[in-house]
Amino acid sequence: MAAFMLGCFAVAPDGTLLCSPDDPASIRFAWRGRPCRAEVAPARLRLEVMAGRVPSTAEPGADRMRALGAVRALPRSLPRDWRVSLTPDHSIRIETTAAMPNPPTAVSLVAAMIRFALALDPYLDALEAGGSGSWKTCPG
């Protein structure tokens, strides 16, 4: 049985991801309509989501102060190894890393992606309640 492709990864018949240790590979996925990315490097996985966007002052009816308050409160509720940042276009990025077996496997990659996505839900809910988590306001 030959290797098959899972996104940008070649997967060996035993499920091992064939990644170059010098060139981390990543796969994109979506959760609740938000773009996510998983980047595999030796013994670790970097996971991120563009969780929402702080509305512009030009958006009618947007409560920018409430939205910024939700973003400001988020780090206190995130797990210890998670980080939140505001990008220059006011998009909200949440990211973390997870341990991966060495060599990584397709099963460990998909399982880590699912754990990350499910763990995101309360934080996405909090951003939405604060007016900054709606992905409809985020650029394409």
Q: Which residue ranges make up each domain of the chain? A: 21-137
Residue 94's identity, in one-letter code, is I
Question: Does the domain made of 21-137 have the CATH classification 3.30.410?
Answer: no
What tens digit of pLDDT does each residue of 36-76 get? 999 987 778 999 999 999 887 777 777 888 888 888 999 99
What per-residue confidence (pLDDT) applies to 21? Answer: 63
Q: Cis (ω within 30 of 0) for the bond into 103?
A: yes
Label each residue of the chain as H, E or C. CCCEEECCEEECCCCEEECECCECEEEEEEECCEEEEEEEECCEEEEEEEEEECCCCCCCCCCHHHHHHHHHHHHHHCCCCCEEEECCCCEEEEEEEEECCCCCEHHHHHHHHHHHHHHHHHHHHHHHHHCCCCHHHCCC
**pLDDT range class, residue 17, cuts 50, 70, 90:** confident
pTM: 0.84
Determine the Cα–Cα distance for residues 130 and 113; give it in Å rounded to an integer.
Answer: 26
